[in-house]
A and B are shown apart, each in its own frame.
Chain A
């Protein structure tokens, strides 16, 4: 596998995904039941997780996976029910943006953010069946 080529592809596509995720989260601030935005954040997190895992960027994959799991709960509920959820989702997004920048600047996998991963995975409504790392 041509790692450099795939790293470039990852940086392009992950950056687009995170920008879309950011726009969708801003919509959810105003309309916590926006189905389109909920689905979009879920899909972007899912896609970012798979791409990062393919390149061994475990820290990115972990945070993206936690976001995906959290959004799965939101999808099931049909809206963001907990007011504390949105700031946490934004924190997750910002962490992913920082991590992608580390890859862009160093070409290396970014370090993990265990504290945030734990916070993202600790919502009372987050059902264990959605978690890969309970």
Chain B
């Protein structure tokens, strides 16, 4: 699978974990962001094919960042990274325009299946 991905998560641990999962499948992680403000900023500079976005982050939340990114590019593909117990927030993010979501702790097969589906779907 090919694609340029921006990874947004405030935890270095989680960024490293998702990076390894993506790179093992041939995806290129072109940037990382540690909060919602940086996610929007990096998106505008890097124009990635897809963004993985944590929901709970400082400065601007993942949901706010989805809105900010979609204002820059309405066709942007953003996949939320959620944890159990965040169903309401996931629904909010999907309503805001996120394409799909993956659940922590990450299962590599599920992550790749979701991202493949989102990347292969026409904008």
Contact = CB atoms under 8 A, between A and B. Distances in A.
Contacts of B88: 129
B84 A13 contact: no
Given A54-B17, A54-B104, A54-B106, A13 B85 contact: no
Interface residue tally of chain A, by bracket? 20 to 34
A6 B13 contact: yes
B105 interface: yes
A49 interface: yes
17 contacts: A1-B20, A13-B11, A13-B13, A42-B56, A43-B57, A43-B58, A46-B56, A47-B11, A47-B14, A51-B14, A53-B83, A53-B104, A65-B85, A129-B88, A130-B85, A131-B85, A132-B85
Contact of B14 (A42, A50, A69, A130): A50
B84 A132 contact: yes
Chain B CB within 10 A, most for which of A1, A47, A50, A130: A50
Interface in B77-97: 83-85, 88
Given A13-B13, A51-B14, A132-B85, 12 more contacts: A6-B17, A9-B16, A13-B11, A43-B56, A47-B11, A47-B56, A49-B83, A50-B11, A50-B104, A53-B104, A54-B13, A68-B85
Nearest to A43: B56
Interface in A41-87: 42-43, 46-47, 49-51, 53-54, 65, 68-69
Contacts of B12: 9, 13
A56 B16 CA distance: 17
Interface string A21-55: 00000000000000000010011001101110110
Contact of B10 (A43, A65, A68): A43
